[in-house]
Amino acid sequence: MNIVLLGAPGAGKGTQAALLVEEFGTPHISTGDILRAAVKEQSELGLKAKGYMDAGNLVPDELIIDLMRERFQQPDTAKGVILDGFPRTTTQAVALDTMMAELERPLDAALLIDVEPEVIINRLCSRRMCKECGYIGTAADASCPKCGGEMYQRDDDNEATVRNRLDVYATSTSPLIDYYRGCNKLVVVDGDRDPKEVYVDVKAGLGL
């Protein structure tokens, strides 16, 4: 399967991707995770991306498209990909179509995890991540329920940045919903429920 996960920040893309990976083993490619790793390593990409990320703005299309072009060169992508956080602009979506056409691996679906903005603000401000395994939890998790690792809050999960990320989503990313509807690839699931219930719809929507 080659799928794109669409939805506002905090809609649950990473959580659903983790469930898909666990069951199907398809590589999960999260541009946010790749960029955060680059920032941590202080690589050239990380140094360029950090300011945009801390403000909740988009990293320039050229950087992201180059990054993804490189990622698609890795052999693991041949068995399919779950794209999370890419594409985020129409320019990126068009670039993705070109890349997939070149690789002769057409996209199967764009799955929109639909959640209202008010729900998102609460979710993101209480979101915590595991330093060791990347598990996505909440402020109620004193340590990681999966591996016991230390939980931390992402630098961009504060209210001011979250509000900007939601504005950026509405302006730059939500047009992709119509883009994928127009090519008959859009599948919509209600994301405002327990992750396990959402996952049932995700699989049904993808025909898995």
The dihedral built from the CA positions of residue 167, 169, 174 and 175, taken in this order, carries a sign that is positive
CB nearer to Zn ion: pick between 95 and 130:
130
- Is 163 designated active site? no
Is position 52 an interface residue for ligand ADP (rule: CB under 6 A)? yes
Radius of gyration of the chain (CA): 16
| 165 catalytically annotated | yes
3-state secondary structure of 136: strand
Token digits for 20? 């898909």
Active-site pick, 69, 146, 154, 181: 154
**Nearest 10 degrees: CA dihedral of 185, 166, 203, 207?**
0
What's the angle, vertex CA 197, arms to CA 193 and CA 203, rounded to 5? 125
Is 125:18 a contact under the CB 8 Å cutoff? no
Give the separation between CA 178 and CA 121, rounded to whole angstroms.
24
**For residues 13-42, which are near ligand ADP according to CB under 6 A?**
31-32, 35
**Which residues from 81-110 bind ligand ADP, rule CB under 6 A?**
85-86, 88, 92
- Contact between 133 and Zn ion by CB under 5 A: the answer reads yes
Residue of 36, 50, 88, 128 with catalytic role: 88
Whose tokens are 């429920």? That residue is 193
**How far apart are CB 1 and ligand ADP at their closest, in Å?**
20
85 binds, among Zn ion, ligand ADP, none (CB under 5 to 8 A by kind): ligand ADP
Range in contact with Zn ion (rule: CB under 5 A) among 5-13, 35-43, 69-77, 123-131: 123-131
Rounded distance between C-alpha atoms, residue 172 and residue 199, angstroms: 26
Residues interacting with Zn ion, by CB under 5 A?
Answer: 130, 132-133, 135, 144, 146-147, 149
Binding site for ligand ADP (CB under 6 A): 9-10, 31-32, 35, 52-53, 56-59, 64, 85-86, 88, 92, 156, 165
Residues carrying an active site annotation: 13, 88, 127, 154, 165
